[in-house]
Chains A and B, each alone.
Chain A
């Protein structure tokens, strides 16, 4: 609970700081300085972390297999759960990254002592909401490119069109906005209500959830309630990416709050568990083929000086007894 409260307070404080700061005439700080710094931290931090991982040797091939191995032709291999070639491994990774394959497998413990049985029911809720959350995040992210690009590419207008297909309200409601909030809320609720997950949760688990929720809600507020001046915001965004920053007038404080929270997310990203975005590609249990009997896997620090207790020493130890037992020896006594 302490973690939850701390994280919530931290996010509230950050949001308040931006809202008040912007109204107190610090638009330049929140609109120009902070975003540049945040993006710089994100890029540098992300690269450093990934290079740190990638430059560390993976001494052993430790693929976790999820099905039948490659064997004789008459035995059907589970190609994408137990890949033996780089191509199959690629598919395994794609399924993992794009469809959350491992999470799809999730089960739930169902211990019923009264009936004398313990079962493992299928549990796809985490998979479903996690997938919803991540894809909505992606689409919302892509949609935002219209603020930086002129003319707005077809791909983005296309996404927007589909996203607002229900044509509810003015401005039209984006479906992803709704599902995004639903997704984050589920992940948050689960952390609070599932005793197991609650017990393992740290402030650093709640913080990004609250932060992302606050970003979503402030964005929704801007768009649907404050109905902020989009042209002005686009001018600001454009200035940032073209390195000719400007602070246009008529930008509502709610924009600065939203934008500041996004910047916090950028800057926080490389130092947090959010780095699973990069790490998922580097997980050796998933990104290596199970072909270690066919192809020698090299460990760069394999120590050739480690030798077995030699047969010679062994025989020296036991020669007489071996001879007596009629076991062949290399050297007679």
Chain B
């Protein structure tokens, strides 16, 4: 065992997990569609499914838009464009027309799962590699690598906090980690058997989590920063 992972293990023991508060469930979104990624464009929640990208209104829960681009894993939104991991690449998609305007290779070469946009970079989770990569959205070049000690199934930034979803076997959590060291700072435990595939903050006090094979998207309350202090 390397020193960094034993350190992470100690951190993990020090941080007790609290139960994630699931505020609302959406879906199953479509037939047998499993959700691979989620993002939020300020109004709507986008979910990547086998059959395409589905946007729904988080208030009414109604589907407002669908784009016929298959999504295998993470989804992100940069204010203008959607980014979608498909097979071993990341497609940049115009949400108005649904056309793919650019593609870059995914850093994990297909072992990628989570995706988010922050500070001009894309952040990509590599599932079983337990890594998060910061990449240049124009070229796909890796700028930074953060090691986690769990499978990474979703990534999001909110208020300078880096959160990632994990799902190993029956256990699933939302974790806030130190973006420098990867040390676990906070853990929200999902109920047993409730997986997280894709994670996105709405910029406020909610996280949206993809529910994998259940085809659902779940809204989870983000703990108040004050409560943590």
Same assembly: no
Binding site for A on B (CB under 8 A): none
Binding site for B on A (CB under 8 A): none
